């Protein structure tokens, strides 16, 4: 079975419980935590690494991960640091805006020495996002984690997942994101994120994709709402349509997509392609297409429900 290690923030999503948006329910979330849970709910072996508070929210988050089958051995408890929270506001189309409370929170307190304690030989895929790139110390730790995974010849999956309001200085954003490319095999961006990064570099959308590939990325996945997902590699390009649905809540939809893609990449390997490594799978268009088709079904299921962990599908819901 392919093993995933997802790294980054696990936090509390405060979701509106009524139309006024004045009342909220606390639900476990955080993009990389969602990926870890999504992978586990599909039936994969899933670990999560990151800093977590010892406050009541922290205890709730650790238990929520464990309840979904995620192994929490590499969570690091950070006494006296609070849990990060985010108020999620939904419009009539289920689209979200975010208000973060993330000053000195536990998720920012992971360090390179914590990565040195991880048995990398037991992992197959390392997944991370750019929300741990916002401050120098946690960025350096994140980059070190990607370096470690790459050094052990593991697949590195990087979802850019921009949240501009988290960045004290957005002038650092593109450079930090791009420093991760040299360790990255799978890069996921929304169309909007790719266009934002392209603009910061005075490049066209197409030129920026080629820039990513030239800096080491092997597979680029571009999501674009209800439009087809684009897959770009050095040698080929194709698109996969997404199901037409009425979204209830798009929270964790991109994370569900990534969990589905990474799971499918390894799941089929266990049955009919045992002679191929995961890296060989990334070079096979037919298998990439199958993984993306599975991933878009996962995302569609998630859009049909509110919340993060509860909305992530099981294998029976997407098979």
Question: Can you list the domains of the chain with their CATH numbers?
Answer: 3-10+31-81+104-317 (3.40.1190.20)
DSSP string, the chain: --EEEEES--EEEEEE-STTS--EEEEEE-HHHHHHHHHHHTT-EEEEEEEEESSHHHHHHHHHHHHTT-EEEEEEEETTPPPPEEEEEE-TTS-EEEEEE-SS-GGG---HHHHHTS-GGG-SEEEEEGGG-SSHHHHHHHHHHHHHHHHTT-EEEEE----GGG-S-GGGHHHHHHHTGGG-SEEEEEHHHHHHHHHHTT--HHHHHHHHHHTT--EEEEEETTEEEEEE-SS-EEEE-------S--TTHHHHHHHHHHHHHHHGGGTT-TTS-HHHHTT-HHHHHHHHHHHHHHHHHHHTSSSSGGGSPPHHHH-
pLDDT tens-digit profile, the chain (319 residues): 799 999 999 999 887 776 666 678 888 999 999 999 999 999 999 999 999 999 999 999 999 999 999 999 999 999 999 999 988 776 666 566 778 889 899 999 999 999 999 999 999 999 999 999 999 999 999 999 999 999 999 999 999 999 998 999 999 999 999 999 999 999 999 999 999 999 999 999 999 999 999 999 999 999 998 999 999 999 999 999 999 888 777 778 999 999 999 999 987 544 455 556 788 888 888 889 999 999 999 999 998 887 789 999 999 999 8
Q: How far is residue 44's CA from residue 220's CA, in Å, rounded to a whole number?
A: 23
- Reading phi first (left if > 0) and then psi (alpha if -120 to 50, else beta), residue 111 is in beta
- Reading phi first (left if > 0) and then psi (alpha if -120 to 50, else beta), residue 71 is in beta
Q: How far is residue 40's CA from residue 18's CA, in Å, rounded to a whole number?
A: 30
Model pLDDT, residue 186: 98
Model pLDDT, residue 277: 78
Model pLDDT, residue 1: 77
Q: Which residues pair with 7 in a beta bridge?
A: 49
Instruction: Evaluate whether 239 touches 227 at the Cβ level (below 8 Å).
Output: no
User: How far is C-alpha 97 from the chain's CA centre?
Assistant: 18
């Amino acid at each position: 079975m392919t093993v995933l290690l997802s790294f980054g923030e696990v936090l509390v999503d405060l979701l509106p419980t009524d139309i006024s948006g004045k009342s909220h329910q606390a639900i476990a979330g955080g993009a990389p935590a969602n990926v870890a849970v999504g992978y586990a709910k599909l039936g994969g072996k899933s670990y999560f690494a990151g800093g977590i508070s010892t406050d009541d929210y922290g205890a709730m988050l650790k238990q929520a991960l464990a309840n979904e089958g995620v192994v929490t051995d590499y969570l690091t408890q950070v006494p006296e640091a609070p849990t990060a929270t985010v108020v999620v506001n939904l419009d009539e189309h289920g689209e979200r805006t975010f208000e973060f409370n993330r000053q000195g929170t536990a998720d920012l307190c992971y360090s390179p020495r914590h990565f040195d304690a991880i048995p990398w030989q037991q992992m197959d895929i390392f997944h991370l996002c750019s929300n741990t790139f916002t401050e120098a110390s946690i960025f350096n730790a994140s980059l070190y984690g990607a370096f470690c995974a790459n050094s052990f010849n593991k697949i590195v999956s990087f979802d850019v997942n921009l949240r501009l309001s988290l960045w004290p200085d957005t002038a650092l954003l593109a450079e930090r994101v791009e420093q991760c490319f040299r360790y990255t095999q799978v890069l996921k961006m929304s169309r909007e994120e790719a266009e934002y990064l392209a603009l910061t570099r005075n490049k066209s959308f197409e030129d920026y994709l080629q820039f990513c590939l030239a800096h080491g990325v092997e597979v680029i996945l571009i999501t674009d709402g209800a439009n087809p997902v684009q897959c770009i590699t050095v040698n080929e390009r194709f698109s996969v349509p997404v199901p037409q649905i009425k979204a209830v809540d798009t929270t964790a939809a991109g994370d569900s997509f990534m969990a589905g893609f990474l799971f499918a990449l390894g799941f089929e390997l266990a049955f009919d392609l045992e002679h191929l490594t995961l890296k060989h799978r990334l070079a096979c268009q037919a298998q990439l297409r199958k993984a993306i088709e599975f991933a878009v079904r996962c995302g569609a299921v998630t859009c049909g429900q509110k919340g993060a962990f509860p909305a992530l599908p099981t294998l029976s819901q997407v098979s």
